[in-house]
Amino acid sequence: MKAKIRFILAAAVLGLLMTGPFAITALLLAADATEAERAAFSEFLLPRLPLGGLITLFGFIAGLALLRDLFRRYVHGLLRMAESLRLMLGANRNFRVATEGPPEIRELARAANDLAQQRDELLSDVEAQIELAKASVEEEKNRLAALMSELAMGVLVCNLDGRILLYNSRARLEFSALAPSGTAVSGNVPIGLGRSIFSILERGQITHSLETIEQRLRKGSKEPAANFITSTHGGQLMRARMAPVLGSVERPAKLANLSDQQDALDGDSVAASQSAAGQNSASATASENVSGDAKGGGLVPDLSAADDFATELHVTGYVLTIENITHSFEREAERDQVLQALTDGNRAALANIRAAVEMLIGTPDMETDFRERFTRVIADEAAVMSQRLEATMSGFAASLKTRWPLEDVLGIDILGAAARRIEDRLKLAIKNEEQDSRLWVRVDSFALIQAITFLASRLQEHYAIRELRLRLCAEGKMVFVDLIWSGTPVSSETLYTWELEPMNVGAETSPLTLRDVIDRHGGEIWYQRDKAAHRAFFRIVLPAAAMPELPAAGQVQHLHSDSRPEYYDFDLFAARDAEGSGIDPERRLTDLAYSVFDTETTGLEPSKGDEIIQLGAVRIVNNRLLRQEIFDQLVDPRIPLKPAGIPIHGITPAMVRNQPTLDVVLPAFHAFCSETVLVAHNAAFDMRFFQIKEDSLGVRFAQPVLDTLLLSAVIHPNQESHRLESIAQRLGINVIGRHTALGDAFVTGEVFLKMIPLLADKGIFTLRQALDAAQETYFARIKY
């Protein structure tokens, strides 16, 4: 805009320079000439005035064209060079000034590129030194990340405002189950960096536990932790342990001593208030003495002379280890119901049996008919009790099993490990028969492998078998593990003896017996012969486990396989919430959290019925793009897809068939974006789709929206293109996965992070400044 104003002013000056001398000369001549001279001058000039004016106009146009060319080649060239230099200095170090334009500009561009190359070489050397110094720190961070990711319990670290700044995979798994039922939407997980723990757990319980910890710290407790059970907003029960994260602060030593003495005085005053009434006067006297000492300076330190400082600990956050005990609680309640059912159901039957037995014992000379009647009562009641017990055991078998910890494992993995162990320890050949690779079992894998190895060792020791075959199959809800051999059969009595022996194999001993392992798994074992094939086998029967659910085909997570999820950011310890629940427009751009999103649609006309077919988003917290905290979901538009758009976005009708509709996806996306600023490229297009659905779905996006298209025009007003690819190229960002909603969101997020320091160079630091600057650009006038 400023360049256009300067061009208009230059054109006006050119016009004045071309017409001004003629006008001034004419005025001077007219002022000094006589009437006859004026008439002669007019007679000479007027016939030639059109030709002179035309020549002057052509001269002005030629001068204007020359001025425009010079302006474009020099002024605009220098402005573009200035923008390129700023890119090299900040957002894209590898960017270089294009050597184009007049010779002087080209020479200046080459000199700037040479300086940039020297700067890069120096920076590369400095960065290499920094990376070397950071190696040990990165190693410690990787160890922490590895440790956190492998913990069996969910772990979260929060600051004092309840903002999550660390969580592990187990916590994400625990809380992902808390998403509203019936919303099978990818990314609908209630936890994430910078999110509030109070959106999941009760605020009052967290606050009370934190106060308890602080009180224990003041009393000098070495382990100031708090244990509690709380409920989530979805009704799940969570067992939690809270431990403080302590920080240190330096205070003047005398002031710290004053604090300690004040604590002691507080304790004395409490003790004095609990003493007998007869000691009130003495307590009052003591209080006056203390007050006098304080007023006289006995307890008030001279801070000006306090050269020594004492380090004090204070709570900066807390660690929560959480465990979902809803299932365990329900299982305990189920066990109680079983015991109650057995007690109530059998009480009457036992009373009848007892009465009948007492009658039989008390009346030895009872008539035969009555004796048979009482005997029948005993038999009938015993049968009823037996049926009730069998029904209870059948209905509540899972609840009555032992609580020994078991894990879900692929059956073929268990047999593979057992085969390697047998071949290594016993030197016995192992061959595999039919093995179903889809079967999962819930087992204590180590104990089960010990049992299989023990049976193989007994067969080798007592029957000298040379080969053992392993088979894995299933029938109904039971999985069969068969150990097959050829040769001498084994009697059932021998198997029974082996079941009761400790499972000792060579020098390796075990206190467990084969029967212990079978009972631990709620299974069974028996011996069986295959006479036709001249073979025999032991069959271990185990309950089948449910196959773990795999991610849906449309829910691509787009994670880097060689990177560990970024589930922590300790810089958030110092972050504090602004007053109020809304997003403060006066906050700095670097202090805000963002949800960067994009949509794929059936067409480009939302007002004419086009619909969203994919929504993708990624969060930015503390100036970091969190690639693991994403929203990625295909949407069934309930209208046919336009063939012209399929080659662009690659989404086919089969891909959106049976996917959630927008009335399910949009509320989940709204929850994902809560308490964040929305960011998109050409956001007016995407937001128009949301606005059209506000009334029908009752979902309104009221948070501020930043548009990278408009911000690019603010940062680089002299660049010809503001397409996402062009901006990414200028900023040195690799474009991968374009024209998928999540892929575009990733690129837009990286672009936006690069733009923040460039906006600061323009004097734009706050959200309000960025919104105001964006609205002043030409592209803000575009409507959809």
Which residues are the active-site residues?
A: 739
Going from the C-alpha of 155 to that of each of 168, 204, 211, 257, 621, the distances in angstroms are 6, 20, 20, 37, 19
**Inter-CA distances, 487 with 192, 428, 531, 623, Å:** 61, 15, 11, 71
Instruction: State how beta strands 429-435 and 467-475 pair.
Output: parallel
Helix (H) or strand (E) holding 366: none
Q: How far apart are CA 618 and CA 595, in angstroms?
A: 6
* Contact status, residue 200 vs residue 240, Cβ threshold 8 Å: no
Closest CA to 691 of 583, 593, 783: 783
In DSSP notation, 439-497 reads -EEEE-HHHHHHHHHHHHHHHHHHH--SEEEEEEEEETTEEEEEEEEESS---HHHHHH
- What the block records as the tokens of 599 is 């949509």
Contact 172, 188 (CB under 8 A): no
Say how far apart CA 737 and CA 747 lie, in whole Å.
Answer: 9
CA-nearest of 488, 413, 497 to 454 is: 497
What residue type is assigned to position 540 of the chain?
A: I
Distances (CA, A) of 87 to 90, 92, 95, 286: 5, 5, 7, 72
Give the Å distances, CA to CA, from 117 to 99, 124, 129, 623, 709: 15, 10, 19, 28, 30
Residue 318 pairs with which residues in a beta bridge?
158, 244
Alpha-carbon gap, residue 212 to 356, rounded angstroms:
61
- Yes or no: say if 429 and 468 are a contact pair by the CB < 8 Å rule: yes
Question: Distance between CA 124 and CA 29 in Å, rounded?
Answer: 72
Query: How many CB atoms lie under 10 A from the CB of residue 170?
Result: 19
